[in-house]
A and B are shown apart, each in its own frame.
Chain A
Amino acid sequence: AQTVTQSQPEMSVQEAETVTLSCTYDTSENNYYLFWYKQPPSRQMILVIRQEAYKQQNATENRFSVNFQKAAKSFSLKISDSQLGDTAMYFCAFMKPGNQFYFGTGTSLTVIP
């Protein structure tokens, strides 16, 4: 079974600073996908960034980037130039092709003005 672990239940960062959210996962699969989803207070699930396991290059989306370490089964999210609108719950997720998504327990991020 696949498991996703987010060891930081809560984090905070000053506005304009950089923060890194951690995620580790456990799988015996070689081909899979990893995601970070953002859930603001509205509770909508918003895709932030996606990484294919077969790609060595780390995914980036504007201020969001990942550090994907396949051997270590680590997938951290870096948010640069943090903005107040980044305040949300962040979920790391794993997906094996043709299968369901597995979510971590989430990290609550607060951006402090």
Chain B
Amino acid sequence: EPEVTQTPSHQVTQMGQEVILRCVPISNHLYFYWYRQILGQKVEFLVSFYNNEISEKSEIFDDQFSVERPDGSNFTLKIRSTKLEDSAMYFCASTERTATNEKLFFGSGTQLSVL
């Protein structure tokens, strides 16, 4: 079965540094998402992306965050200047979003630790 691929699986960074989390969505999917999950808490929506632009974003997704689909296959999340509270598991997800196939497929996540 096709799957969403995320790299790296773990990322450790110093506070204030920039990080880029990478995702390769399923090839025929058109809608892409980033979610995050702070340890022990629920999964929170960050941003959705369609047709090369952000379609929706949450309050969490402030000016420190940006997304990009640079080459038609990768979908990246950049955090410009990381804070301690950005430590979380970050999930990329994609969906085909046809009328009969509303399923969100998640990647295995990138665990970001900000020191």
Contacts and interface: CB of A to CB of B under 8 A. Distances in A.
B56 A100 contact: yes
Contact of A43 (B58, B102, B105, B109): B109
Contacts of B102: 33, 50, 52, 95, 97
Interface string A81-113: 000000000010101011111111110000000
Given A100-B33, A100-B56, A47 B42 contact: no
State the main secondary structure of chain B at its contact with A.
Answer: strand
B42 A42 contact: no
B43 A103 contact: yes
A43 B89 contact: yes
Given A43-B109, A44-B108, A100-B33, A50 B42 contact: no
B42 A106 contact: yes
Interface in A15-41: 33, 35, 37
A45 interface: yes
12 contacts: A33-B102, A42-B108, A43-B89, A45-B43, A52-B102, A91-B43, A101-B33, A101-B35, A101-B45, A103-B42, A103-B43, A105-B42
